[in-house]
Chains A and B, each alone.
Chain A
Amino acid sequence: MSHTEHEAPIHRTSSRRLGKMLAIIIGVQVIGGAIFFTNYSYWNSYLPEAGKLQEEQMEKQAAASAAAGPSATQGTFTGKEIHVSLKFVESPDFKNYGFNAPIGTSGANPEIDVNVGDKIDFDVTNGGKSFHAFAVTASSSGPGPAIDGTTIGTADSPMKPGEHGTVSFIPSSAGTYYYICAVPGHRELGMEGKIVVGGGGAASAGGIPAGTGGTVPASGQKAEYSLSFDISSDFSKYGFNGTIGSPSANPTITVHSGDTVTIHLSNPSKSFHAFGVVTDPDNPSSLVWNSAFKTADNPMKPGEKGDVTFVAGTPGLYHYICTVPGHAALGMNGNFVVEK
């Protein structure tokens, strides 16, 4: 300070003052640390709302593409019990992943063959260096969606190296399922194995071979169906006669080869749509039998109604979709089965 300092006594820091200050500082840190560590698992526990919206979108797409495939819920145990041990492994250069061995080497991703009603007991260990998560899914690509009750860990809370878990799966309908690692990217890098399920009840859509789209002469028999284009209010779920996920949505239409089929279409939704029967639901141009009503460039407007009539061709599994790009993936995709 200035010259007045010489008159007043100079108070130098003492141990007691220092001790009080340190006690406060260290005390606050200890209390803070106690709060932090007792709630350790809470702090990073949930995904933000915005992330959930995107995840739901991705799952809808995956579910829509699996809608034509095997059933996505577990069945009842009426058959044999099979034990399968699986280990997540990575190649040393981390380029190839796999179950039991990296993809491409012998012993990798063993195929499991069972029947409907059999129970597969999975015993899964993480033998790799990275994090993994186990799931059984019906979709043929992507990290999900997982069938209920078949997951060990998730992408956000995965299995650490050395961790171990068990889970069971009872397929309820025939078809091809996949056991995968649910961490995004790992399936594409090789962690995918097939579960081929045979037998089961009435021919589900998964058991019918895809139709070739050939034409046949009209047999004179007629069939009529009504379909409406529906969208959920938050624009995340689409579908025919209800949005995907609801019990009435995307009804399977079964006709005979040669039937003259009339579809009554209505668009009560807020968006534009167009109709067609295709061989490949991911490809809106794979139309067959002149079954298109309106196109993506000239679509049905909200409130519009219309009819389309065509002759069902060679037997097989086809799909009726909305041919506006993306709408089939969002849920406007139903099975169109042509029997002999």
Chain B
Amino acid sequence: MVLELQKPRPVWQIMFSTHHTDVGYLYTITGLTFLFMAGVLAMIIRTHLFFPGEGVLVSDSATFNRIFTVHGLTMLFLFALPVANGIGNILVPIMVRYKDMAYPKLNAIAFWMNPVGGALLWLGFADVSWVSYAPYSIIRAPGPAADMFIFGMKILGISSILSSINFVVTVLKCKHPDLSLRRVPLFAWSMLTVSLMTLIAMPTYAAALIMMLTDRLGLSGFFNPFAGGDPIAYLHLFWFTFHPEVYIFLLPAIGMMYEIIPRFSRKPLYSQASGVFAFVMLGIIGFASWGHHMYSTGMDFTTKVVFMIGTLAAVPASGMHVFNFLATMWGARIRFAAPMKFAVGGIALFFSAGAGGVLNSAMPLDFISHGTYWVVGHMHLFLTGTIGFGFVAMVYYMFPYITGRMYSEKWANVHFIGMFWGTVQVFFTQHLLGLEGMPRRIYDYPPEFTSWTQLNQIATVGAWILGASFAVFLASLIYYSAKGKPANMDDPWGLGGKYYYPVAAKNPHGGHSGY
């Protein structure tokens, strides 16, 4: 591989290496593996829901509940976070002009916690749903699956915290003395922001997990109403972590788009300062809105208003990113290679996801949409539409640098058309399903609701298109990494190199900050 050190090393040496590029590959490759595993689960879910009636594909509701639980957990914690960490590991030290991450051994340890946590989650295959609300997860969720879930999430959470510490110290303390923080590339800013957010948000969930475990064992009564506890306490602890966490999932993808869009537009970024400001603002305001997941738990009016304001306040920051991208592309001679297509597609879907989210945040409208397929459509537009597109764009972008070969533009086009069309067809349709009232996490629906059946079938066809496009992606990745045409390492897409990084460090030895 090209970005590795000067000669090819045995695979096992790469696996146990502490060099940031190697750890980055490990994160990225295991992350993509889990993406496809969870994608298979998603295809099972959508195919099963094509017809109403039990046993269409999945034989019983217990198995179905376990499938959607593991699908959610894997996509979020074994794909989204690790791939962001992986790309971050590869690029951030280069971006801050340092030789490695701040703590290389800690880096490797944090990575190796991922397969262990993933094994616990997949072997147990719990049925608690990814949010694992109390009291179900405490008094009813069967073991040992639910206990393995708790231990697996604990390990993944610790891994997240360790890698966050690494990123914060690397960017703030290890960056080159001539490089001012304001001029650090925006992808590194996004990793810095999410790492700081993780350090504040994640410990709350870690505490909630321990409390859930002791509750399950009958030793305590934090969330168990039959032992004097309150399930709403769990919801607060959970969402205090996981609302900021959704921004943690999102920001690296936006950061990756900041790498790709100015480059393929052959034009300087519209405003570095805007990007920095928007990241920091989102990082702070992201903590003010967790209650919007709990509007219907019996909240009083004032509390609902406070959380609605907190939710709406974060929207302008996202808007600033969209504006930044559009203004950069405005009047530019754009090279629409695969990374650019996916990045721009991602922005379009980001905008539509955000627009739908405004409806959720409006208190009275949330009572129509909460707990229905509207939320499923909305969150998947963010997850698949923005994060998925952003990560795929970055994988295509890094492809020549990692393998030394070019992927096929033609098959990447097929992938793009299928993924964009499929994403729109599944997730826009699910917004309509939600308005029709279909709840989430259901194994079956009444056949007399014909509109539900029709919409489910449209959504499933869209999901098949999306799944087929990912199969093309997987085949393309495998085939062209070994058989692709050797890439021009100085300029794989023939962009011209004139509008590279606008913020070059004043380093007499470095020249430009490209690679």
Contact = CB atoms under 8 A, between A and B. Distances in A.
The answer on direct contact between A and B (beta carbons under 8 Å) is yes
A44 B403 contact: no
Interface in A115-138: 129-131
A21 B11 contact: yes
A43 B215 contact: no
Contact residues on B (Cβ < 8 Å of other chain), bracket: 35 or more
B142 A46 contact: yes
Given A14-B482, A43-B125, A48-B138, A25 B33 contact: yes
A1 B510 CA distance: 11
Interface stretch (A51-59, A106-114, A241-249, A278-286): A51-59
B218 A11 contact: no
Given A12-B405, A12-B486, A51-B138, A21 B6 contact: no
Contacts of A12: 2, 403-405, 486
B1 interface: yes
Interface string A36-75: 1000001111111111111001000000000000000000
A5 interface: yes
Contacts of B122: 32, 36
Contacts of B403: 12-13
Contacts of A28: 115
Nearest to B401: A1
Interface residues of A, number: 45
A1 B490 CA distance: 8
Contacts of A18: 478, 481-482
A10 B511 contact: no
A52 B215 CA distance: 12
Contacts of B126: 44
A21 B59 CA distance: 35
Contacts of A2: 510-511, 514-515
Contacts of A93: 448
Interface in B44-62: 54-55, 59-60, 62
Nearest to B229: A50
Interface stretch (B143-151, B235-243, B338-346, B355-363): B143-151
Contact of B29 (A3, A13, A21, A32): A21
A84 interface: no
B124 interface: yes
B152 to A, nearest CB: 13
A43 B123 contact: yes
B11 A17 contact: yes
B143 A48 contact: yes
Nearest to B509: A2
A49 B216 contact: yes
Contact of B139 (A5, A50, A129, A160): A50
B475 interface: no
Contact of A11 (B7, B60, B62, B511): B7
Contacts of A48: 138-143, 146-147, 216-218
A5 to B, nearest CB: 6
B131 interface: no
Interface string B107-138: 00000000100010011111100000000001
Contacts of A21: 11, 29
B332 interface: no
15 contacts: A1-B3, A11-B4, A12-B2, A12-B405, A13-B1, A13-B482, A17-B1, A20-B11, A28-B115, A29-B33, A45-B143, A52-B218, A93-B448, A160-B60, A161-B54
Given A36-B125, A49-B217, A161-B54, 4 more contacts: A10-B404, A43-B123, A52-B218, A129-B54
Interface of A: 1-3, 5, 8, 10-15, 17-18, 20-22, 24-25, 28-29, 32, 35-36, 42-54, 57, 93-94, 129-131, 156, 160-161
Q: Would you list the 9 A-B pairs with minimal beta carbon distance, nearest first?
A: A12-B404, A49-B218, A51-B139, A13-B403, A15-B482, A48-B216, A44-B142, A18-B482, A54-B226
